[in-house]
């Protein structure tokens, strides 16, 4: 398992070949420019689902690989920690995917723009994009 290039936390996630944890990856995404139209916001949210699904698949493969190394059902002492780490990463990936789906659903069904994608209040008011307080 690699260490995040920014905070040194262990991670399975990579961004352009650079190991990065979820928190640092989300922080870096928030620093990028915000989308300005409904189609751009939808595209960002769909891309996050794709990224989360890819991460979930990788975490699932890692978990399966770790579990396959324990044929007798009784893991080696350090194997227990590897199983625990792989399980936590799989759980985090599932949570990330569920969050991505919820954010897209809230945007499509209710017009709620996630906080990290919100535009300035002037643009949001003029363009009809709503935040949770506008429901």
**Which residue ranges make up each domain of the chain?**
1-32, 37-134
pLDDT at residue 119 in the model: 54
CA distance 104 to 114: 9
Residue ranges in the chain modelled with pLDDT below 50: 120-127, 130, 132-135
CA distance 13 to 3: 9
pLDDT at residue 13 in the model: 80
Provide the token pair at 2. 């690699």
pLDDT at residue 70 in the model: 74
pLDDT at residue 72 in the model: 67
pLDDT at residue 129 in the model: 52
């Amino acid at each position: 398992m690699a260490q995040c290039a920014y905070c040194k936390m262990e991670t399975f996630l990579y961004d352009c070949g650079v190991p990065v944890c979820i928190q640092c990856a989300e922080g870096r995404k928030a620093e990028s420019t915000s989308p300005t139209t409904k189609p751009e916001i939808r595209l960002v949210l769909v891309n996050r689902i794709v990224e989360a699904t890819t991460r979930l698949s990788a975490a699932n493969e890692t978990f399966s690989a770790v579990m396959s190394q324990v044929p007798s059902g009784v893991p080696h002492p350090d194997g227990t920690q590897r199983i625990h780490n792989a399980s936590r990463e799989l759980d985090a990936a599932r949570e990330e995917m569920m969050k991505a789906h919820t954010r897209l659903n809230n945007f499509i069904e209710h017009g709620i723009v996630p906080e990290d994608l919100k535009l300035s209040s002037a643009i949001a008011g003029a363009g009809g994009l709503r935040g949770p307080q506008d429901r």
